[in-house]
A and B are shown apart, each in its own frame.
Chain A
Amino acid sequence: QVQLVQSGAEVKKPGASVKITCDISGYPFTSYYMHWVRQAPGQGLEWMGVINPSGGNARYSQKFQGRLTMTRGASTSTVYLELDSLRSEDTAVYYCARDRALIVTPITGDVDYWGQGTLVTVSS
């Protein structure tokens, strides 16, 4: 079955960077787009960006341009999210989430599978 398994919780100081992994199994890794979505404590969902695991190209929300990088493993079924220059407002649960659309079709934004979430706490 489809599984998205994320790395564990992180505690970072302001100004630091964090890198979260999302290990994928149960389907051909390069067949579906992968989004990253975050949720601050008690707040709503926020789209961060999407990566094409086949070509490695990514599209980011304007809000995170310049400090967000999404990549995929060269020989592993893993996608990565790296966020730089962390501030307290980046404290949130970060989710990887699979788009329903196959790579050969346009992105839909309809997400059918989610990782379990990774809590990132930014505190001095």
Chain B
Amino acid sequence: QSALTQPPSASGSPGQSVTVSCAGTGSDVAAYHYVSWYQQHPGKAPKLIIFEVTKRPSGVPDRFSGSKSGNTASLTVSGLLPEDEADYYCSAFAGNSIVFGTGTKVTVL
């Protein structure tokens, strides 16, 4: 199972929005409604910010939103804050396995 494809980097100024894409295949992203997104700060464990494509765990601000169209899922961070600067990973259920994305470093300019 190949990793899902994400852009290596994305950036935006405080208050702006940034969108990160996650390209998969018909066997993972397109096949199931289990796409999640994780935020990871340096030296820390990942944190779940979106699950089941669009849902946010309790405590995650509504500035974070997820969507999916066909083989591609997306994460949008609105109203960027300095603390949003981190690595972001998507993941998808693929039937017998889980596949992660390649990761995107989001920089707040």
Contacts and interface: CB of A to CB of B under 8 A. Distances in A.
Contacts of B3: 44
A45 B100 contact: yes
B64 interface: no
B45 A110 contact: no
A45 B36 contact: no
Nearest to B96: A59
A116 B45 CA distance: 6
Interface in B25-60: 34, 36, 38, 45-48, 51-52, 57
Interface residues of A, number: 22
A61 interface: yes
Nearest to B28: A109
A45 B45 contact: no
Contact of B38 (A45, A46, A61, A117): A45
A94 B89 CA distance: 16
A108 B51 contact: yes
Given A45-B103, A115-B45, A110 B96 contact: no
Centre residue among B48, B52, B102 by max chain A CB count within 10 A: B48
Interface of A: 35, 37, 44-47, 50, 59, 61-62, 95, 100, 107-112, 114-117
Given A107-B93, A110-B34, A110-B36, 17 more contacts: A37-B100, A44-B101, A44-B102, A44-B103, A45-B46, A46-B100, A47-B91, A47-B99, A59-B97, A62-B1, A108-B52, A109-B91, A111-B46, A111-B91, A112-B51, A112-B57, A114-B47
Interface of B: 1, 3, 34, 36, 38, 45-48, 51-52, 57, 89, 91-93, 96-103
